[in-house]
Amino acid sequence: MNLGYLNPADQFVLMYDHVLKEQGFSGNYCGLVLGLEGEVDVARLSERIASFRTHFPQCTARISQKKRQFFWQSGELENLFIHKTCSSDRPFEDFFQQQLTEYFNAPPALPVQFLLLSAEGGQHRFALRWYHPLTDARGAENLLRVLLSEMDLSQAADQEGQAKDAVLAYQQSLSLWQSLKQVKQVFSRIKEARTIQNAVALQLSSVKLCHRVLRFQPGETRQIQANAIKHLGLTGISLYFLACIMRALAQMSALLSYRGNGYVIPYAFNLRKANALYPLFHNQISFLFASAPDQVVADRQQLFAHLSKENKQVIGAQKDKAFIPLMRLAQQLPLPTYAKKVRFRVREEESSSCWFSYTGKSALADLAVFGAKIADYYQVSPVTQAPGLAILVSQWQQSLSFSLNYFADLENSWLTEFCRLFRQELLEE
């Protein structure tokens, strides 16, 4: 049974799934990880997940293709819940890291899976792994909002059925000429960004993904937010993070085989309204780039002014949503051609210095995982060679977390030094 066609943004991330699989990774699987305090009622959690699966058949669906159109084909009612327990002779943190790494590097299975890792004495962590073509990070968080609440799942499924797809709605609002004009605009933006030769290319041999989380206390978080507003205003929180990433990467360039002239960081932004629970499924995203040449990155104030001006020009000219008609057009291409056209530069090199995402304050703060309080929250993402690094920012209650996703053979000392410099940039130490 056809459960729905992939929208242009779904197919864009499916193209990345193709690229990742070609490089030997399991695919475009992302995750949300919750640190828990207290005992989880495992039986009730398992029951709720089983019921969730029944009401949302997308969770066990498979992607099929008919000519050039991809769609979700219903699958078997498989179990979405994995529960593993740490043996008493092993430190829980080791067990957790090893299991999570295995889970995100495991061969592809279902589009949605839930993992509960437990140890004696009430230690638990809960993770959602999702296949990116199914939904985006905000959609995944909304899946957890529905799962962990007491809402009626048949009502939730009805509401999902009535929800408006923002990507399709935007595309449908454009005439053919408006679409073509926007595609032209986005090509000029991509061309502009490509004048910057990417300065970072972590060419590594491993295909094992790892992550490290850089956390900030509430006082530090307030300081970072105040710095962002001081330099870039109320609209520039993401830009402040991007500027600090660029500056930290620039200071790391001595440790890399540096051969570029600047930095380009693409990032998705969500088209969902703030607080909207539906739609749960389909990627509701478009893309932006932040780019700056070396001489601008070298001067902190100049970099802030440059990114702010660039951002205002892009959003003012509505080039942000212009990626949607481009993705719609690219749906006509076979995935390998799509990847080649969009992802690579002329000389077949990656344009991005790293990947970035900022999802804001988590909406899970008032929820619990069947008896256990949520005490920590961060995201996990795949990454390709290159850029070899993805930085995902989220806020749990009053604390910011930066999840750094990288290859296993990226030197620990590189990452430690990068974190130190990045922290210094954020806090203006």
Q: Which residues bind to other proteins, rule: CB under 8 A?
A: 233-238, 269, 272-277, 311-312, 315-316, 360
If the CB atoms of residues 310 and 350 are measured against other proteins, the closer one turns out to be 310
Q: How far apart are CA 311 and CA 338, in angstroms?
A: 26
Minimum distance of other proteins from residue 167's CB (angstroms): 14
Q: Which residues pair with 30 in a beta bridge?
A: 130
Q: How far apart are CA 342 and CA 62, in angstroms?
A: 25
Minimum distance of other proteins from residue 166's CB (angstroms): 10
Minimum distance of other proteins from residue 133's CB (angstroms): 23
If the CB atoms of residues 9 and 421 are measured against other proteins, the closer one turns out to be 9
Residue 371 tokens read as: 């008896």
Q: How far apart are CA 400 and CA 215, in angstroms?
A: 6
Minimum distance of other proteins from residue 360's CB (angstroms): 5
Find the helix or strand (DSSP H, E) in which 340 lies.
Answer: helix 335-343
Q: How far apart are CA 305 and CA 231, in angstroms?
A: 8
Q: Which of 31, 35, 32, 30 is nearest to 125 (CA)?
A: 35
Q: At what angle do helices 323-330 and 166-173 cross, to 10 degrees?
A: 100
If the CB atoms of residues 279 and 388 are measured against other proteins, the closer one turns out to be 279
If the CB atoms of residues 60 and 311 are measured against other proteins, the closer one turns out to be 311
If the CB atoms of residues 277 and 342 are measured against other proteins, the closer one turns out to be 277
Peptide bond into 279 cis (omega under 30): yes
Minimum distance of other proteins from residue 274's CB (angstroms): 3
Name the DSSP letter for residue 38.
Answer: S
Minimum distance of other proteins from residue 240's CB (angstroms): 9
Q: Whats the size of the chain, residue-wise?
A: 429
If the CB atoms of residues 65 and 318 are measured against other proteins, the closer one turns out to be 318
